[in-house]
Structure 1
Amino acid sequence: MSVQSEQTTTKEASPLGRQRAFDTSFVILLVIAMAAATGVAWLHGPGRVVEIMARYLGFLLVLSPKILCGFFVAAAVPILIPREVITRWVGQGSGTRGLAMASLAGALVPGGPMMIFPLAAGFRAAGASTAVLISFVTAWSLYGLNRTVIWEMSFLPIDFVLARVAICLPVPFLLGWLAQKVMR
């Protein structure tokens, strides 16, 4: 593979595309954070703001390796799995099969948001449809197997957990299907 075709593949495989550091979502979050900091400083003094910032900077340092691993997975997916395979199984024309697969994958893939969202971005870059990604992320949010078995079944009555999962079961598929209809 030539250097130029390697560069082309890398550019095409970027799950995030071209991103600006200071986009609208950043400005909104910054305004909310500044309002919160102002409120805390007003009620509890500027020292409390510094204390909170120091604590959560440490938290960010702990999370950074996990976030970087998630980004690497996101970048690797479109390079390791051929675009034709992704497009056939979960692309625009994959229909109900793609939604069902994405719903199942969302339930089975372990990990938190630092893994799921970069993975979804990687699949998007590789050719997965928006409807499929909606099913994938929704299934993970509603009934990720890892969380359901380890946390919910440990603390909540089994009949409650089974009822919640049964009620939520069709939701990822239905939301993906609705997205297909709306986005046509």
Structure 2
Amino acid sequence: MIDGGFLLLCALTLGAGLAVGVTKGWDRVLLLSGDGLGFVAVLLPKILCGIFVASALPVLLPREKVAGWIGPDSGALGLVYAALAGAIIPGGPMMTFPLAAGMLAAGADLAAALTCITAWSLYGLNRTLIWELSFLPADLVFLRVLICLPLPILLGLAVRRLR
């Protein structure tokens, strides 16, 4: 659990806290720390649910079936399935990233997981329907989605070629 990335994040956090304390005062550090802990309290239940779902995937889904659908030998169709999964995943990164990790543990390959995350990021249905179509002209949203449509699959194909 304690790896280089975690240590780097701790060092950056402490450095930022020290910089705020020196430049803006230590009372500001306490205020920001309280705000940060409040944010963690709001996010923690969502993260825990996402992690639970992700850890349940490998138990509930047969590895051979998942590998057949979105594994390394699933071809471009497997990447299309992964992109569709990414498009329909509701919620934010608290759900998407644990689900992608669960897909990997259940037999998906890295290309499918990255395709799923990229599709969620580029054209998640939840965001597109609720936010974009509410505020932007439909033709603009349609054009944006149309342009983005092949990108997750192309990324997945590139990852499989590089591996």
Pick the TM interval, shorter chain. over 0.9
For 2:134, which of 139, 154, 162 is the aligned residue? 154
Once the two structures are TM-superposed, the CA of residue 140 in structure 1 deviates from its matched residue by 0.3
Partner of 1:141: 121
Partner of 2:42: 62
TM-score, structure 2 length as denominator?
Answer: 0.96
Q: Distance in 1 between matches of 2:64 and 2:92?
A: 28
Alignment of 1:10-29 (within 5 A): 20=1, 22-29=2-9
What SS does the aligned partner of 2:72 have? coil
Partner of 2:72: 92
Once the two structures are TM-superposed, the CA of residue 99 in structure 1 deviates from its matched residue by 0.4
For 1:121, which of 88, 96, 101 is the aligned residue? 101
Q: How many residues align?
A: 163
Once the two structures are TM-superposed, the CA of residue 159 in structure 1 deviates from its matched residue by 2.1
Alignment of 1:37-116 (within 5 A): 37-116=17-96
Q: Could you tell me which runs of 5 or more consecutive residues in structure 1 were left unpaired when the two chains were aligned.
A: 1-19
Partner of 1:17: none
Question: 1:99-125: CA deviations, max 9, x gaps?
Answer: 010011101111211111111111101
Q: Is 2:156 the partner of 1:173?
A: no
Q: Distance in 2 between matches of 1:31 and 1:153?
A: 41
Partner of 2:143: 163
Once the two structures are TM-superposed, the CA of residue 39 in structure 1 deviates from its matched residue by 1.8
What SS does the aligned partner of 1:33 have? helix
Q: Distance in 2 between matches of 1:30 and 1:160?
A: 41
Q: Distance in 1 between matches of 2:143 and 2:77?
A: 25
Q: Distance in 1 between matches of 2:60 and 2:18?
A: 47
Question: 1:143-174: CA deviations, max 9, x gaps?
Answer: 10000110111122222211211111110000
What SS does the aligned partner of 2:38 have? helix
Aligned AA (1:145): L
Q: Could you tell me which runs of 5 or more consecutive residues in structure 2 were left unpaired when the two chains were aligned.
A: none
Q: Higher helix proportion, which one? A: 2
TM-score, structure 1 length as denominator?
Answer: 0.86
Question: 1:59-104: CA deviations, max 9, x gaps?
Answer: 1111111111111101100001111110111111111111010011
